[in-house]
Structure 1
Amino acid sequence: MSPEPRRWTFGLTPLRVAALIVLALFAALTFTVLLTNEATFVYTLDDPYIHLALAENLVRGSYGINLGEVSSPSSSIVYPFLVALGLLAGLGDWTPLALNFVALLGVLVTAERVARRALAPHLDRPELPAAAVATIALLASNGLGVAFTGMEHLLHVWVTLLVFLGLLSVESGERTPAWLVVVIALAPASRYEALALTAASVLLLWLSDRRAAILAAVGGALLLGAHAVWMLAMGLPALPSSVLRKLPIAQGIASLRPASGDHVTSWLHGLLRALGNPTVGPLVLVAALCVLATLLPGPRRPASRLAIWILGIVLAQVAFGRFSGYPRYETYAVAVLILATLLVFAPQFAALWKARPAVTSLLLLLAVAAPSWRNLTATWAIPAASSDIYSQQYQLHRFLTEFHREAVAVNDLGWASYRNDAYVLDLWGLGSEAARSAWAAPDPAAALDALVQARQVPLAAVYEPWIAVARPRHWIPIGSMELKFPITVVEGHQITFFATDPARCEEMWRRVAAFAQVRLPPRTAVGISDPTLCTAAARR
């Protein structure tokens, strides 16, 4: 066992100091976001408002974006329910931030435990370097940045590190802790991507404790099976629309049929895009180096099989996961890989730390910062990213709830649906299974327009390039909302308003024109089209 952590002045330990540093950064960033957005807290992505909208209806007894219409837009089984609990507790819009703050501290504490365990055989007092490594791992993986997205990714990171900690104890010759079996089984509830974590962990556990491996595998299968049965019972696919929309090859799995050639082609295109992401190369390279280092002659170490476990998780993320412009999908892989690198090279790190602690800290910072520059810049860009959402998506929400107050079609679901009781048709298909299926129709434009007409949706507010190939020709552009550059996270600088019914075109135009007269943030500009477009359309 490692020695008790050294007590500092006022009873502070290195871990508590690290937690205070993280808390100070968290508070400073929260204040900066409020300052940037005219005292309104807004997340750095529009996606958490999908969770909030879903949770809002869960509280009312309905599972879906629109009250009374079932849909499954979340890539997490458990997160919408956690958000719903926060809403019931009165936390409101702050619920995702509160959940992420808890997960942030959980990641820090678990990372410190892993680092301390890795260094304990080589250092008499590993608590200071362990706290330093944990803090660096948190920041270099964009843990702070992910917290302000309001999404479930940080929960996924925490679950991954807990499994890593448990497997490290098993690989060190200790008895399998019961909590490890539970966490491995429940991991996919955090995000479906964690299915790779469960599979790899069951395989590794099988080598040392077959009973525990079987229990974890059966538990995970029961969890996913029960959720799939529930989805099917509601008339939805076994997998959520978000997974099916973003990973086409999963459509074959959800339909219990082999993936089609188109699905495989789409997957290959996604794989090529992933390989072009600047994070992928360093991830795979470092994971492979860790495996090679453990194969060198010498006694078997706990890191030997864990390095292969981590390489498998990284490769699964590259092959079947996602990488986006704002780094969040790969955060768990970056965090666990930093700690795995410490585990593999713990003797060398400890020797250098004993000789020159300050130099070791500096070298560690430089080594981690070089391949993690995107994550570090993403943390720095939190206020700018939040400003994007406030200046565009939040203003769209204002228009829909204060001026339109009627059904609308969108292709970027989030603020458009949260705290909006009017019907919202998600043309992209995350919040509407019918819309997702329409994209596979021979004529997507006709299929989507049929949905719009069936739901009597008089207005569409969309990123026009997103649906250019599927936009019905009779939709009339009546205005736009433009976000001034530079853009950090939103998918497009302009939302275009379309009247979908020529008979109501002038009415929709007047609503956009009225919105153009209100006070808007400095980065937001609303323009209106020539009203004669409506007159001409009505005559046709």
Structure 2
Amino acid sequence: MKKTTIFFLSILLLALLVFYNLQVVMVFAGRFIYPLDDAYIHLSMAKNFAEFSVWGITQYEFSSATSSPLFTFLLAILIKVFGNWEYIPLVANSVAGLFLVWVSHNYLKQFSKLTYTIFLFSIVLLMPLHLMIMTGMEHVFHTLTMILVLLAFKKYLEHQTPRGFSNLALLAIVATGFRYESLFFIFFMCVYLFFIKKEYFQSIALGLFAMTPVLIYGWISLDHGSFFLPNSLILKGNTNHGFVGFITRMAGNGFRGISVLILVLILIAQIFIKAKSQKLWMDKISKNAIPLVVFFGFSLHLMFANFGWLIRYEAYLVVIVLFAIAPFADSVFQKKTGNIILKTEIIVFLLVVFCLRFIPMVKNQNLASKNIFDQQIQLADFLHKYYKNSKIVANDIGAITYYNNIHLLDTYGLGSIEVAKRRKDEHGKFTDSKNLQDYISNTSKSQDFDIALVYDSWAHMPDYFTKVGTLAIQDNYICGGSTVTFYSVKKENAEKLRSQLVQFSKEVPKDVSIKIIN
């Protein structure tokens, strides 16, 4: 079978996986529902920027709620051109996914047919690519641009032409714009150019180019009274709980990212085996330029970024490591009298990663979409029916803002900078933050908010709020909590809200339970 045929088979497999998951979600929802509420955060911000020129989760104020400014900006352009359609991220990701498979094909076709086949299908299945497409998030674009950065870096090291450097610098800017974690790897590219290649100007220039999206976005955010970094990085990063918290979270990252760690073991073996054949330290390093950049970049991600949450945060790492170990695996596979143990270990490790990443997602991806449909979409529908232009207190904010025109007080802080500042000062605390509770209480009263729909475990509501009812879902996998509590901010409107919940309870899916509190 020719490699071109294998390439088209991988595309067909990807299309079948996407189609299958679309059909499963359509059965219970009647339409496709993204498996993460964060996808609707991107959509809401993109819609507001395209239609109202406001970079925010609502049209009424600036909010740095996106961790991927370039992806949100791309969606805004597409909405401006094609109109506000909720499936724009799905289509855009599908196109980027096809490009990723095509780039992988062009890179892997230099190797044997066995290596080509194993690694091309590994990229599709171990990422898994269909899941990242269907999240409606930025991860496919980020992975694609990071692979292009690595290939551009490799090409520049081989030829060192001005055009090669300009391509590398441009791709570094784009990759950082999609996710700031790109800087982990670009930093070590700069280190390599500075200390190993002695290209001081190129090293500094590459770092400055890569930092451009961070600096521009940070300046805009500060100018609007927000943080230099996006709110999500400030509130979710691995530096909010002191040294002990840092170590604990890093250990948790290692546990959640065990599938990537398994691949990194192959990367480490590759580095040591290639270095062993070189006598000089400089040669040991230069022969492992790409693997070392990938290893140290992964290490920074382990320390300072996140893993898990629908296995999306580390998805790009899987593909990057696969690219880095492909040449080594090819040399192992082609040795007729080589180390059979090493050959077996590579195959076994890839199969273990398949079992850890792909197989669980066959169920969990659709369960996540079911959770979002049962909770976030129902909340959005409730607000659209009764409060679509009202002032709402909430702490999971994607679908409810995308499908409505509400004013928002976000008790988590992604969409409300004053809340984010208080949570940052309290090191991300929720229920035990008196400062945060006082702010929610005073703001809700002074700005005449109507209702609250929140996870009680995320933030205590003021005593003058009236608890009216709850919405609970079954088999929660992805939502911030299985139960959302409804409060009437104004006591005199509690009975009205209670009546609305009674009426709405007749319209929700059978797996959703609405209970009224008298």
Aligned 8 A contact 2:239 2:304 in 1:
no
- Within 2, Cα distance between the matches of 1:482 and 1:113? 49
Letter in 2 for 1:136: S
Counterpart mapping for 1:298-309 below 5 A: 298=278, 304-309=288-293
- Relative to 1, partners in 2 of residues 1:276 and 1:362: Cα closer, same or farther, differing over 3 Å? closer
- Relative to 1, partners in 2 of residues 1:508 and 1:133: Cα closer, same or farther, differing over 3 Å? same
**Count of aligned pairs between the two proteins:** 497
Displacement of 1:269 in angstroms is 3.7
- Relative to 1, partners in 2 of residues 1:364 and 1:144: Cα closer, same or farther, differing over 3 Å? farther
Displacement of 1:75 in angstroms is 0.4
Gaps of 5+ in 2: 427-432
**In the alignment, structure 1 residue 187 sits paired with structure 2 residue 179:** no
**In the alignment, structure 1 residue 322 sits paired with structure 2 residue 306:** yes
Percent identity, aligned pairs only?
Answer: 21
Which stretch of structure 1 is more off in the superposition, 51-60 or 397-406? Answer: 397-406
Displacement of 1:35 in angstroms is 2.4
Match for residue 276 of structure 2? 296
> Matched residue of 2:234: which SS?
helix
Counterpart mapping for 1:207-222 below 5 A: 207-208=196-197, 209-222=199-212
- Within 1, Cα distance between the matches of 2:267 and 2:289? 12
What are the superposed Cα offsets for residues 82-128 of structure 1, whole Å, 9 maximum, x if unpaired?
111222213611111112112212221222333334x2xxx4xx5x6
What are the superposed Cα offsets for residues 21-58 of structure 1, whole Å, 9 maximum, x if unpaired?
22232223223322232x21110111010011101110
- Relative to 1, partners in 2 of residues 1:369 and 1:239: Cα closer, same or farther, differing over 3 Å? same
**In the alignment, structure 1 residue 390 sits paired with structure 2 residue 342:** no
- Relative to 1, partners in 2 of residues 1:69 and 1:265: Cα closer, same or farther, differing over 3 Å? farther
Match for residue 386 of structure 2? 403
- Relative to 1, partners in 2 of residues 1:455 and 1:374: Cα closer, same or farther, differing over 3 Å? farther
Letter in 1 for 2:314: E
- Relative to 1, partners in 2 of residues 1:325 and 1:343: Cα closer, same or farther, differing over 3 Å? same
Displacement of 1:409 in angstroms is 1.1
**In the alignment, structure 1 residue 507 sits paired with structure 2 residue 496:** yes
Which stretch of structure 1 is more off in the superposition, 501-510 or 320-329? Answer: 501-510
- TM-score for the superposition, normalised by structure 2: 0.88
**In the alignment, structure 1 residue 380 sits paired with structure 2 residue 362:** yes
> Matched residue of 1:447: which SS?
helix
- What RMSD, in angstroms, separates the aligned Cα atoms of the two structures? 2.9
- Within 2, Cα distance between the matches of 1:51 and 1:224? 18
Match for residue 434 of structure 1? 418
- Relative to 1, partners in 2 of residues 1:143 and 1:164: Cα closer, same or farther, differing over 3 Å? same
- TM-score for the superposition, normalised by structure 1: 0.84
Aligned 8 A contact 1:181 1:213 in 2:
no
Which stretch of structure 1 is more off in the superposition, 394-403 or 338-347? Answer: 338-347
* Match for residue 202 of structure 1 among 187, 190, 197: 190
> Matched residue of 2:144: which SS?
helix
Displacement of 1:365 in angstroms is 5.6
- Within 1, Cα distance between the matches of 2:235 and 2:311? 19
- Within 2, Cα distance between the matches of 1:361 and 1:91? 50
Match for residue 135 of structure 1? 121
What are the superposed Cα offsets for residues 101-160 of structure 1, whole Å, 9 maximum, x if unpaired?
12212221222333334x2xxx4xx5x642441221231122221211111122111122
Aligned 8 A contact 1:83 1:95 in 2:
yes
Displacement of 1:362 in angstroms is 9.6
Displacement of 1:507 in angstroms is 2.1
Counterpart mapping for 1:318-357 below 5 A: 318-351=302-335
Aligned 8 A contact 1:404 1:511 in 2:
no
> Matched residue of 1:295: which SS?
helix
What are the superposed Cα offsets for residues 405-449 of structure 1, whole Å, 9 maximum, x if unpaired?
322111111111112112122110011111112333653211222
Letter in 1 for 2:38: D
Match for residue 74 of structure 1? 66
* Match for residue 240 of structure 1 among 230, 234, 240: 230
- Relative to 1, partners in 2 of residues 1:202 and 1:186: Cα closer, same or farther, differing over 3 Å? farther
Counterpart mapping for 1:12-27 below 5 A: 13-27=5-19
Letter in 1 for 2:166: A
**In the alignment, structure 1 residue 164 sits paired with structure 2 residue 154:** no
**In the alignment, structure 1 residue 58 sits paired with structure 2 residue 54:** no
